[in-house]
Amino acid sequence: MRMEFSKRLQPTGKLLKSLGLEFSFRSSQAILRLVDATFKPFHNNGFPQEVEHKAFYATYPVGLISGQQIGNPRPPKKTNGISP
């Protein structure tokens, strides 16, 4: 994807900068190590190997893991008989 955007920028004379986001403000170091280990085999797919993620609050014992629900298990609420 990065190469695609870089190609699209060429006619403008602008360069696409590659920046890494190393620090997480929500996850613990244990979670970040797991994420890095999970994606390490996929470095040929654009996942940079030189970036190792760090927890901003490294001394905190736990981090936040949030997941996104797939689908809508409940119908939307009706207001005055009208669905939103």
Mind listing the pLDDT tens digit for each residue in 68-82?
677 766 766 766 666
- How far is it, in rounded angstroms, from Cα 51 to Cα 34? 14
Token pair in block for residue 2:
């990065």
| Residues contacting 81, CB < 8 A, separation 6+ | none
Mind listing the pLDDT tens digit for each residue in 35-79?
888 887 876 766 666 777 888 887 766 655 666 677 766 766 766
